[in-house]
Every structure is written in C-alpha cells, then in structure tokens.
Chain A
C-alpha cells in the first residue's frame, strides 16, 4: 500500500502568520465496508483507512477517525492556522496497520 501516492493541495504555499491554510487531500483506497457480499455469498472482509492525521512542523493540527460510511477514495478537506513554517505531513492508517503518507510544506512569512 505504500506505493499509493495521495494527492494533496494546499491553497497557498506561503502564508502570513495567523492566516488560514486550506488543505485538500484525496487518496486511492477501496474503503471496503465489510457489509458487502461477493457473488458466492461470502462477506467481503472490511478494509478501510480508519485514521487520518495532519501535522505541521511536527505538531498535530487536525485528525479524524473514519468509519466504513466514508466513501471509497476518501477525500478530506480542512484548514489550519499558519503559525510556523515546516513540512505538512498527512498520514492515513489502514485496517491492516499499513500507512499511506503524503507531504507538502508551508512557509510562514
């Protein structure tokens, strides 16, 4: 799963201190609910990304827990307040324990 590359977009590369920065991210994943049955009647086991976190310069600014009711190829959009420059790291955790990580950066003027 580590080969999956999330698409991340920040609405600005540089921000004044205190400005709000909007993050949009999309990651390819089946988000199998565990409710569906295959043609032979067996339940398809659940496999979703159950947790998402965003850190800016190592500090967590936003996180989320996902349930199977989140659509396939989960999209997430949120904002954070620009306090310091640094990497913006987005991490999704799969039910199987694997991680999908994407990175961008913000420069605070």
Chain B
C-alpha cells in the first residue's frame, strides 16, 4: 500500500510539473514585453504613425549584438516649412525599449543619423519620426543577432 501511494504521489507531482511547464511556456515568449508600446505612445501622444518615409538601415544578421551599426534617415526637404523634428529608435527585445532619440532642425540639412547599438537577441527595431506639422511616420526592421549584447 505504502509503495503505491508513494508512486501515485510521484505520478501526481510529475503530472503537475508537466501541466505547469505546459502553462509556463506561452507566458515566456521569445520577445518578452518591454516598454516599447509605452515609449512609442508617449512619443506620438497617442497618434498612430503612418508607415513610410523612414528608412532604417541595419544588417540582416548581426554577429555581435554589442555593437550593431544602425542608420536612420527620413525623407524630407528639411526647409523651414517642412522638416523632421525628432526621430526615436526603439527595440522590442531589449530589457528596455529605448535606444536613442535624434533631434533635427532645418539647419541639419538632412534627417540622417548613424550610431552603434546593443541588441540582446533577435528582435525588431522600430523608428518613429515626428514632422514639424505634427504627423508621424514609422518603419521597422528585424535583425537576427548571433551573440547577444547584454554581457550578462
């Protein structure tokens, strides 16, 4: 008797563990939610950005996530009447979404900036541009990262 109870308990524990694992998996997706939504809403003031005008230049595959070259550019005449005032760059798979914010003016001549960024794993990079007339444009690009850049 004693033996069978122990076995039953063992089986139950095992079953519980399997169930827990089964439920556990969907709650930890590859892209854990970070503050991307929050930051983009804050930047646009709740407006939905239009896809286009923004160009993100990143490698398809980044071998080293510690330093990934990133260029963001926005189509604009950059005159006093029409220019890009701000561009925010966000990542959906880093511990925190924020990467950088670039501010331009007609004196910039062209809305283009390049820097090197850290990416923890394969993820999407999102850029949102704010025009001087209050409209927003966006673009995103997926980068596959071979070695993550969080150094842990």
Contact = CB atoms under 8 A, between A and B. Distances in A.
Contact of B113 (A64, A67, A72): A64
A59 B106 CA distance: 12
A74 B116 contact: yes
B118 A71 contact: yes
Interface in B117-152: 117-119, 149-152
Contacts of B108: 61-62, 78-81
A65 B87 CA distance: 10
Interface string A71-102: 11011111111010000000000000000000
B99 interface: yes
A95 B149 CA distance: 21
Interface residues of B, number: 34
Contacts of A61: 105, 107-108
Most chain A CB atoms below 10 A, which of B95, B102, B109: B109
A67 to B, nearest CB: 4
Interface string B67-86: 11001000000100000000
A82 B113 CA distance: 17
Contacts of A63: 102-103
Nearest to A20: B109
Contacts of A37: 152
- The dominant DSSP class at the A interface is strand
Contact of B117 (A65, A70, A78, A81): A70
Contacts of B115: 64, 66, 70-71, 74-77
Interface centre among B78, B91, B104, by most A CB within 10 Å? B104
Contacts of A83: 107
A79 B112 CA distance: 7
Given A77-B114, A78-B112, A67 B100 contact: yes
Closest 5 CB pairs of A and B: A81-B109, A67-B98, A77-B114, A71-B116, A65-B101
9 contacts: A59-B107, A62-B105, A64-B102, A67-B98, A70-B115, A74-B115, A76-B113, A77-B71, A81-B110
